């Protein structure tokens, strides 16, 4: 499972869901949402069956929001974008009959996730591998790396439709540079003996061992 989420992409590109909406990755598109506090309800929806999960994002009445929890098949806990992901929800404006579109860039994030793990010498498809994905002690250190890589993929695809020199093209190039820089900087701590403590520190395509 990827370390980054749609919410992490929203932090870097708050208008991403509005500007780059791919219908093939749209899970919910309704116009009957009622918002009370941090609760958004759509009686015509089945969020669970649609594949909606915490960490995704939506455009609610034109405003990007985080999805904090799927509380029932028809109800979500949502928030305006928070400075920190574990802070209390910031309720959007109340209302009824509101439009809401929930899309996900999960496929792009998962692709970068697999690439990131392989750069660390971890095969994502091998559940029995040691070390494995679950042995990474500081997974949040990789969330920014995966977010930047996913944004490069997403914006590159969008830029191909409008051609070189467009603002989308410039953004795609910027995120490629930021992705490369983040990959060079990040240090990932790995537990090699199953005791929950880091035994090794790896950079992309290299390994450095810590003293025990």
Query: Where a domain ends, among 54, 77, 103?
Result: 103
* Residue 75 domain-assigned (yes or no): yes
The answer to whether the CB of 75 falls within 8 A of the CB of 41 is yes
> Higher model confidence: residue 30 or residue 200?
30
> Higher model confidence: residue 206 or residue 29?
29
| pTM of the shown model | 0.88
Q: Give the span between the Cα atoms of 48 and 125, in whole angstroms.
A: 26
Alpha-carbon distances, residue 199 vs 19, 167, 190, 208 (angstroms): 43, 44, 6, 10
Whether pLDDT at 202 is above 80:
yes
Same domain as 39, residue 129: no
Whether pLDDT at 207 is above 90:
no
Which is nearest to 60 in space by CA: 17, 105, 106, 24?
17
Query: Where a domain ends, among 86, 103, 120?
Result: 103
Q: At what angle do helices 143-159 and 106-119 cross, to 10 degrees?
A: 130
Query: Where a domain ends, among 103, 133, 149?
Result: 103
Same domain as 112, residue 202: yes
> Higher model confidence: residue 149 or residue 208?
149
- Work out the percent of the chain whose per-residue pLDDT is above 90: 68
Which is nearest to 99 in space by CA: 62, 70, 55?
62
pLDDT of residue 42: 98
* Residue 1 domain-assigned (yes or no): no
What CATH number has the domain bearing residue 60?
2.40.30
Which letter, b or e, does each residue of 117-149 get, where b requires 16 or more Cβ atoms within 10 Å of its Cβ? bebbebebeeeeeebbbebbeebebbbbbbbbb
Strand order from edge to edge, sheet including 206-209: 188-190, 200-203, 206-209
Could you tell me the residue range of the domain that residue 66 belongs to? 6-103
pLDDT of residue 209: 44
Tokens of 81: 């974008």
Same domain as 82, residue 127: no
pLDDT tens sequence across 117-163: 999 988 887 777 778 899 999 999 999 999 999 999 999 988 887 77
The answer to whether the CB of 21 falls within 8 A of the CB of 6 is no
């Amino acid at each position: 499972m990827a370390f980054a989420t749609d919410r992490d992409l929203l932090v870097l590109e708050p208008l991403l869901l509005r500007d780059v909406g791919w219908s093939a990755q749209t899970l919910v598109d309704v116009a009957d949402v009622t918002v009370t506090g941090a609760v958004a309800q759509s009686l015509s929806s089945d969020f669970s069956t649609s594949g909606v999960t915490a960490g995704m994002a939506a455009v609610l009445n034109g405003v990007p929001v985080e999805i904090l929890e799927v509380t029932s098949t028809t109800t979500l806990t949502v928030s305006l974008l928070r400075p920190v992901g574990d802070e209390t929800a910031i309720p959007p404006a109340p209302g009824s009959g509101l439009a809401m579109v929930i899309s996900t860039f999960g496929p792009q994030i998962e692709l970068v996730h697999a690439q990131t793990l392989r750069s660390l010498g971890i095969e994502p498809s091998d559940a029995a591998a040691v070390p494995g994905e679950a042995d990474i002690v500081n997974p949040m250190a990789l969330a920014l790396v995966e977010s930047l890589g996913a944004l490069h993929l997403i914006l590159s695809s969008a830029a191909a439709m409008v051609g070189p020199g467009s603002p989308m093209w410039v953004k795609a190039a910027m995120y490629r540079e930021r992705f490369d820089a983040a990959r060079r900087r990040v240090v990932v701590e790995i537990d090699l003996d199953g005791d929950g403590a880091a035994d090794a520190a790896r950079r992309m395509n290299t390994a450095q061992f810590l003293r025990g």
